[in-house]
Structure 1
Amino acid sequence: METSDPQPNAGQANEPVIDTLENEKTAEVQTSGVLRIKERFILTAVKRVIQPQFLAEEDKDKLTTEDEYLPPDKKVKLSKSEKKKLSGRNKKRPRIIKVPRSEKLCPFLKDITAGEDAAKKCQYPGCSFLHDVDAYLQRKPANIGGTCYNFETFGKCSSGLTCRFGSSHISEKNYNVVNPEMWEKHSEVQHYSNSLAKEVQHSLWKHKYNFEKSEEALRQVTQAKIEANEVKSGAIGPVIDSMDREKRVDWKGKLYLAPLTTVGNLPFRRICKKFGADITCGEMAVAANILQGKKEEWALLRRHESEDIFGVQASSSLPGTSRFLLVLLCGNNAKVMTRCAQVIQEQTEVDFVDINMGCPIDLIYRQGGGSALLRRHSMLETMCKSMKQVLEVPLTLKMRTAIYQGKNVAHNLIPKAVTWGVDAITLHGRSKEQRYTKLADWAYIEECAKLAAPIPLIGNGDILSSEDAWSHLENSSVAGLMIARGALIKPWIFTEIKERRDWDISSHERLDILQEYVNFGLEHWGSDTEGVEKTRRFLLEWLSFLHRYVPVGILERPPQHINARPPPYQGRDELETLFSSPSCAAWIKITEMLLGPVQSDFQFLPKHKANAWG
């Protein structure tokens, strides 16, 4: 919905706001990379100060100003060298601290309903959860208030007595109230799929899962490689044609939400589906952890019923390593990936499986993962061909243009991938070295799209408007578009593209989107304290991108471009100004509007050190 451009309130432009940068620019003085804002919205001479609670301990030690912890009105400006020390990313961010089982109410007791005997609910004598309902309720944090989304939507809240919105469905006698008609209606519908069955988990734990199909596929590909080497042929066996048994995906003209680690969670994907995303993909899952039956990794494969074209992205790792340490070994990488592909094929409902070879993180690259696969063609060929033999859904590759800037290699790899039986390729128009700096090279993407024929190539990079999208769709050979940061900054971009317009979305419409995300989060992670805080943290991660959106109505020359940054500005109302803040303190305030006050011991370290300014 288009909104007007009201004149800001008198005096508002000179009031300090949370997002603060010292700036003396006017609308007439614009430099390259600076987004042009209508003059009446630009803030001038705005001071900024450091908020120590959003700094890592090591960065606090780097500050040399003696007054760094003084109240904001007594702060002095940091020197240029001190500011430089507080740039870059926070690499050792704290994880969510789980509540001990002894402090959590037993799952058998939390949803006890009227007429049930609490003493007979839990059948495990050695259960380590809390079983004293009264004691739990006495120490339980106060209800947040408002109605429980899960109860209002489904007729029953699975968090029961632990729900932080429990006033909607907890009786005076401490029973979980259920609406029988609503619950019966929804319990008959499968809203989610790809859960890990206990028997499958046990077979993976005990190494009893039948991988004969994977072993045979690897044997055939390896034997073909030996024979090819003997005759000095460049090919490894015949091209695998599985079209007769494969479920096909129509990629033409589709808008593909990129797989996004951490922020690309299921609630966020649901938001993007509502705005028109055609294809979604789960967060990157580590193959070794899938094969170990780890619940947290299998959770990344979960699919909502709204995700009609859904894939999973896999990469391999040594058992026991972090999700972010993707170690590719020459001997067993193909084996791990092929086994993972078999399990995914047999135990989940997906429309395609994607191999991640675009990750630019140095640690992953040094271990041979992510972008390093761009130079490991033999390994990748074995992996693709063996995975193709065990999959009945398309196999796709997500890659970058190169490892080093100016030394493109994707054009050498893509024709080979076509002969390996890969069904589609997504190409991000930057090198590993570039990460997300400079502009994506769409001329090179076009060159590669022609080389990829007859398989589809999906272009990725710098799409933040309908204008960007249609320029690429209509003037290049790409089959479709992948959108990553653009969707995080403005998830309604899918609607803009399909309706060919710039949407001047209001601040209250944006707040409604956040409320819906919170509802989806409470449904997905639960509405108990743990679920509320998990939803809050993922919302904070998303807000670190959302604040970069600049409303259409205050732009001097729409649309916004992803590589341009605005000068400090105020919105057309107080809420719009709050949404524009790059300060972590402002993001926490937004979460408190939706999820209640943070706890006294709450801590959140933003991904980027710059967001500690306030």
Structure 2
Amino acid sequence: MKRERRQELKSPLHICPEVAKSGKVSACPYNDKCRFSHDVEAFKAERPADIEGSCPFLIYEGPCPYGLACRFAGTHRDDVSAPTENLPVKSSELNFFNKDTQKLLWKNKMKFPETESTLKLLGLKGNPKDKTLGGKGENGQVVPKEPATDTKTDNNEVANDSIIPFISPEDDADENNLADDTRPLKKAKSSVNEICSSQVSSGSSVQEGILDSSCDVNKLEPAADTVTDSDKSLKLHPREKKLIDFRDKLYLAPLTTVGNLPFRRVCKVLGADVTCGEMAMCTNLLQGQASEWALLRRHSSENLFGVQICGAYPDTVTKTVELIEQECSVDFIDINMGCPIDIVVNKGAGSALLTKPMRMKSVVEAASLTVGTPVTIKVRTAYFEGKNRIDSLIADMGNWGATAVTIHGRSRQQRYSKLADWDYIYQCVCKAPKSLQVLGNGDVFSYVDWNKHKTECPELSTCMIARGALVKPWIFTEIKEQRHWDITSGERLDILKDYARFGLEHWGSDSKGVETTRHFLLEWLSYTCRYVPVGLLDVIPQRINWRPPSYYGRDDLETLMASDSAADWVRISEMLLGKVPSGFSFAPKHKSNAYDRAENG
């Protein structure tokens, strides 16, 4: 691999981006020290042929950012003579990773003041690399990372007396009725708390359920009689946050690999209301990995957008949410506690947290107390098949500080081998407090499925749509219009064309961007081939677990789209992105059925 990279660096095709953009060697600020090639003529002699079609940046004002390296360079207009006053400005992307922040993370010099204060408040303060949760507390006692048992979820049964439980509004109201010896620990009021409480009672600073930012009950003010100007920037208590209303909104699930920004743009065009980025690992984000931070990228069309993170310990997750709130524009942060992938579970994250409810509590509580952004969680029914446990925890999840919880109706061991258990999801919804929004996830593949779940359980906030959107992204249109869309192969090809255009805008229109777009398009096509047109079905609607035999479509393109052969998916990609490079091969990354593997029971 090193030899190939060295050869690539020496190749004239490895042209400097600044030189390619302007066509002038003098445009590069590094001159002779640049690690890219500056030989424009050699690049023109060896560059691959243009792809059929027009440059995706032509519809926007200004020149193409890839210049000579663009695979559609032949369609570029003359910037001197071409009119640009009536062209739209390029749609923006948000949440680019700050280089200064990345350098601080690389050098392990990033400060997390909110995390430090929150972990100290909850008795979770300590060395992140130590297996004990905090080393020594204020009184010199050792604070264990996990209580003696993971099955106790009641605040009064926590083994560690230094852990201060989250006090819900209902508990706060009934505080005076508790005896002194049974009253849960609660932090003392400071002058900031007293001013906040007085403003709440007078109603002077309450607007749409949110207190003025000068109030803060997350922080203690030691020996302070007056509020300083710095207190005005302090954050709100979780019970005073502005909540997101997920009720009846069409929610596109965070989808690993395939749920990238171009795919989310396609779903937004087809009717999705809420979108969420791909799962990002907390440890990778804290290490400043640019590839992981790219998963948090947001498009301007995503008006209700969240990111999903995955971590095993309270300190790791809390630092990550503080960093995300500081660096990114997001509407909510979702903590994944249901990922079944072995590499994630073996590190104690994802579904592994389902076996440690007290750690779940610590993670959610610390994260929600640290940031003002709403925190949601996503879980599965259980880790092992037949040992469901979310119904025993869901009554406490609202007290932990979570705004909403999404329940995937399968266990970790089950993976995708059986249908989702919606009856169990309904049971959990009935046991959840009214302040906690509960979302269901699993096997929603038509508007009939959507209506059934909403009718059988009106308290259900909404349904999250995952594989259904991968197989047919127009499911959002079907639900909104309450119809079965007998979509033609031409209309499906138009959706793929939109995806290719969005992908070239996101990853680039040079050779590297084209092949990246092709790779993710092929991953998506490995799901779309499962769709059976409505006009060919004897029983409507199609179920998500059906695997029909090979069939002929109503035209050649429909037959090609129904193929489960990777070679046919490559043919479809060549219709949109030109011929594949020599020696190209593709194998899909994901397998949806992993139930029969030995390590999964």
TM-score (norm 2): 0.77
1:604 is the counterpart of 2:586: yes
CA separation of 1:283/1:165 partners in 2, compared to 1, >3 Å: closer, same or farther?
Answer: same
Which residue of 2 is the match for residue 254 of structure 1?
249
Which residue of 1 is the match for residue 59 of structure 2?
152
- Any conservation in 1 of the 2:166–2:365 contact (CA below 8 Å)? no
- Any conservation in 2 of the 1:156–1:183 contact (CA below 8 Å)? no
Which residue of 2 is the match for residue 533 of structure 1?
515
Select the residue among 83, 89, 92 that pairs with 1:186. Answer: 89
Which residue of 1 is the match for residue 569 of structure 2?
587
1:111-126 alignment, distance < 5 Å: 111-112=21-22, 117-126=24-33
CA–CA distance in structure 2, aligned partners of residues 124 and 178 of structure 1:
30
Which residue of 2 is the match for residue 422 of structure 1?
402
Which residue of 1 is the match for residue 266 of structure 2?
271
Which residue of 2 is the match for residue 464 of structure 1?
445
CA separation of 1:480/1:97 partners in 2, compared to 1, >3 Å: closer, same or farther?
Answer: farther
Which residue of 1 is the match for residue 460 of structure 2?
478
Structure 1 residues 370-379 or 540-549, which shifts more? 370-379
Which residue of 2 is the match for residue 200 of structure 1?
101
CA–CA distance in structure 2, aligned partners of residues 517 and 527 of structure 1:
13
CA separation of 1:574/1:346 partners in 2, compared to 1, >3 Å: closer, same or farther?
Answer: same
Select the residue among 344, 349, 362 that pairs with 1:364. Answer: 344
Select the residue among 107, 125, 139 that pairs with 2:17. Answer: 107
Structure 1 residues 222-231 or 238-247, which shifts more? 222-231
1:211 is the counterpart of 2:121: no
Deviation at 1:362, TM superposition (A): 2.9
Q: Partner of 1:512: helix, strand, or coil? A: helix
Corresponding letter in the other structure for 1:284: M
1:137 is the counterpart of 2:60: no
- Any conservation in 1 of the 2:253–2:276 contact (CA below 8 Å)? yes
CA–CA distance in structure 1, aligned partners of residues 526 and 431 of structure 2:
37
Question: Which ranges of structure 2 fall in alignment gaps of 5 or more residues?
Answer: 126-132, 149-154, 170-236, 594-601
Corresponding letter in the other structure for 2:302: E
Deviation at 1:153, TM superposition (A): 3.6
Corresponding letter in the other structure for 2:72: F
Corresponding letter in the other structure for 2:515: E
Deviation at 1:553, TM superposition (A): 0.4
1:44-59 alignment, distance < 5 Å: none
Q: Partner of 1:152: helix, strand, or coil? A: coil
- Any conservation in 1 of the 2:61–2:84 contact (CA below 8 Å)? no
| Percent identity over paired residues | 47
1:393 is the counterpart of 2:303: no
CA–CA distance in structure 1, aligned partners of residues 367 and 470 of structure 2:
31
Deviation at 1:285, TM superposition (A): 0.7
Corresponding letter in the other structure for 1:549: Y
Corresponding letter in the other structure for 1:491: P
Which residue of 2 is the match for residue 299 of structure 1?
294
- Any conservation in 1 of the 2:19–2:27 contact (CA below 8 Å)? no
Select the residue among 119, 144, 168 that pairs with 2:75. Answer: 168
CA–CA distance in structure 2, aligned partners of residues 243 and 359 of structure 1:
26
Deviation at 1:199, TM superposition (A): 1.9
Cα deviation 1:391-423 (Å, max 9, x = unaligned): 111111101001121211111221221211111
Cα deviation 1:291-317 (Å, max 9, x = unaligned): 22221111100000111111111113x
Which residue of 2 is the match for residue 7 of structure 1?
none
- Any conservation in 2 of the 1:311–1:354 contact (CA below 8 Å)? yes
Which residue of 1 is the match for residue 177 of structure 2?
none
CA separation of 1:349/1:504 partners in 2, compared to 1, >3 Å: closer, same or farther?
Answer: same
Q: Which has the higher contact order (CA 8 A, sep 6+)?
A: 1
CA separation of 1:610/1:313 partners in 2, compared to 1, >3 Å: closer, same or farther?
Answer: closer
CA–CA distance in structure 1, aligned partners of residues 387 and 519 of structure 2:
39
Corresponding letter in the other structure for 2:352: A
CA–CA distance in structure 1, aligned partners of residues 461 and 493 of structure 2:
34
Which residue of 1 is the match for residue 596 of structure 2?
none
Deviation at 1:239, TM superposition (A): 2.8
Q: Partner of 2:335: helix, strand, or coil? A: strand
1:507 is the counterpart of 2:468: no
Select the residue among 497, 500, 503 that pairs with 2:479. Answer: 497
1:238 is the counterpart of 2:145: no
CA–CA distance in structure 1, aligned partners of residues 536 and 27 of structure 2:
62
CA–CA distance in structure 2, aligned partners of residues 456 and 99 of structure 1:
55
1:346 is the counterpart of 2:321: no
CA RMSD of aligned residues (A): 2.7
Deviation at 1:98, TM superposition (A): 11
Deviation at 1:386, TM superposition (A): 1.2
Count of residue correspondences: 492
Deviation at 1:240, TM superposition (A): 6.7
Which residue of 2 is the match for residue 405 of structure 1?
385
Q: Partner of 1:201: helix, strand, or coil? A: helix
CA separation of 1:232/1:305 partners in 2, compared to 1, >3 Å: closer, same or farther?
Answer: closer
Q: Partner of 2:477: helix, strand, or coil? A: helix
Corresponding letter in the other structure for 2:84: E
Q: Partner of 1:478: helix, strand, or coil? A: coil
Deviation at 1:156, TM superposition (A): 2.5
Q: Partner of 1:581: helix, strand, or coil? A: coil
TM-score (norm 1): 0.76
Deviation at 1:434, TM superposition (A): 0.8
CA–CA distance in structure 2, aligned partners of residues 597 and 575 of structure 1:
18
Deviation at 1:424, TM superposition (A): 0.3
Corresponding letter in the other structure for 2:551: Y
CA separation of 1:542/1:533 partners in 2, compared to 1, >3 Å: closer, same or farther?
Answer: same
1:316-335 alignment, distance < 5 Å: 316=311, 328=312, 333-335=313-315
Corresponding letter in the other structure for 1:387: A
Deviation at 1:378, TM superposition (A): 1.7
Cα deviation 1:425-452 (Å, max 9, x = unaligned): 0001011111001111110000011122
Q: Partner of 2:464: helix, strand, or coil? A: strand
Which residue of 1 is the match for residue 306 of structure 2?
311
Question: Which ranges of structure 1 fall in alignment gaps of 5 or more residues?
Answer: 1-95, 317-327
Q: Partner of 1:283: helix, strand, or coil? A: strand
Q: Partner of 2:84: helix, strand, or coil? A: helix
